[in-house]
Structure 1
Amino acid sequence: MTSTVVYDGDLRTTCTHLRSGNAFETDAPIDNNGKGERFSPTDLMATSLATCMITVMGIKARTMGFDLNGVKIEVEKIMKADPRRVGGINLFFHIPDNLKDLDDKSKQILKHTGNTCPVQQSIHPDIDVKVDWGEWS
């Protein structure tokens, strides 16, 4: 088992990672009867893409002799109706100054690594994913 999810009432859950014991709570979004005070399940889906991309990119950067400390990704989730679902995910990379002048080959390797991460490979093709690489564009 990977995790447990317990329904706490009031449209909230507590999610616990079994190996570490780390836990977080979710809430339904405001536009779906919740309070929007925590990540919603669909927020987690969109955020999962960003965390997967930067994690595998960090692994690749480490093998290339540097790190990606300070890279920030803003995540925008776009919902669709009928049926209610995630219709799009937009990611906006912010590259710290010390990585802006990375050589083009390294940038391409890292971008390819991010674009082929396991979560990206698991997202249904009907979900429109757009990545703005910021200073690496």
Structure 2
Amino acid sequence: MKATAKVVYEGNLRTQCTHMQSGSVIQTDAPTDNNGKGEAFSPTDLLATSLITCMQTIVGIFCQNHSIPFSHCEGTVEKVMYSDPRRVGELHVNLDFSENKWDEKTQKKVQKAAEACPVAKSIHPDIKLTFTYLF
């Protein structure tokens, strides 16, 4: 099995993560509400961010495979933490596809593709997912 990433704990609740294939580097930091400085993505921020980036990527692949023009998408994701145990309890994703001018049939297909992304299908069912689309 080939490693996806190498992660080094740098101290002070910070890690450096290197993507093995590309060499791309990101850092994580514990959030301010959990003993950290909040100076970088937290591990749970990465979970939330991976959901929205996966959705956008899968829409891109879907549109490419079906010859659907796809020029732009912006979005936000809100992570809601729960306690006892401390965990991600909710993820609220907002995606703005309004620059693409799709008909209603295409919009429904894009929405279905987005919500079937691998990250969404990997998130524990106890995490409440809310998706809002602007077309």
TM-score bucket (shorter structure): over 0.9
Contact kept? 1:57, 1:114, Cα under 8 Å:
yes
For 1:69, give the aligned amino acid: S
Q: Which residue of 1 aligns with 2:108?
A: 108
Task: Please give the TM-score of this superposition, normalised by the length of structure 2.
Answer: 0.94
For 1:60, give the aligned amino acid: F
Distance 2:69 2:44 in 1: 29
**What percentage of residue pairs aligned between the two structures are identical?**
46
Contact kept? 2:90, 2:127, Cα under 8 Å:
yes
Q: What displacement does 1:94 show? A: 1.6
Q: Which residue of 2 aligns with 1:122?
A: 122
Classify 1:61/1:126 alpha carbon distance in 2 versus 1 (closer, same or farther; 3 Å). Answer: same
For 1:3, give the aligned amino acid: A
> SS at the partner of 2:78?
strand
Distance 1:48 1:68 in 2: 20
Task: Please give the TM-score of this superposition, normalised by the length of structure 1.
Answer: 0.92
Q: What displacement does 1:67 show? A: 4.3
Classify 1:43/1:67 alpha carbon distance in 2 versus 1 (closer, same or farther; 3 Å). Answer: farther
Distance 1:44 1:67 in 2: 29
Cα shift readout 1:100-125 (whole Å, capped 9, x = no counterpart): x3111111111101111111111111
After the TM superposition, which segments of 4 or more aligned residues of structure 1 sit over 6 Å from their partners?
A: none
Q: What displacement does 1:134 show? A: 2.0
Structure 2 gap segments, 5+ residues each: none
For 2:123, give the aligned amino acid: I
Contact kept? 2:98, 2:134, Cα under 8 Å:
no
> SS at the partner of 2:92?
strand
Q: What displacement does 1:68 show? A: 3.0
Cα shift readout 1:78-133 (whole Å, capped 9, x = no counterpart): 00000000000000112243x1x311111111110111111111111110000001
Q: What displacement does 1:32 show? A: 0.3
Contact kept? 1:58, 1:67, Cα under 8 Å:
no
Distance 1:13 1:69 in 2: 35
Distance 1:79 1:67 in 2: 37
Contact kept? 1:92, 1:131, Cα under 8 Å:
yes
Cα shift readout 1:49-91 (whole Å, capped 9, x = no counterpart): 1011110110011122244332011010000000000000000
Aligned length: 133
